[in-house]
Amino acid sequence: MGGSVPFKVSDLAANDKAELQAAVARGELSAEAPCDAMANKWTEDAKDRLGAFLADTFNWKK
């Protein structure tokens, strides 16, 4: 994540989705590549949770 973050993003995502969304909206967080976890295999559960988060964030409907 870009910028200097005064908290663990993983903790925030697990506990306060609204604050994580607000930090992204304010430009305090942004995705950067490459990162050390890029080569990690995603579990189906992790993919589902990411999809649900993005759908909720961007009001995507299936």
Verify cis geometry, omega within 30 degrees of 0, for the bond prior to 34.
Answer: yes
- pLDDT for position 1: 43
- pLDDT for position 44: 93
More confident of the two residues 56 and 15: 56
Pick the closest to residue 12 from 4, 21, 3 (CA basis): 21
Per-residue pLDDT tens over the stretch 17-56: 788 778 888 888 777 767 677 788 889 998 898 888 888 8
More confident of the two residues 48 and 15: 48
In whole angstroms, give the CA distance from residue 56 to residue 54. 5
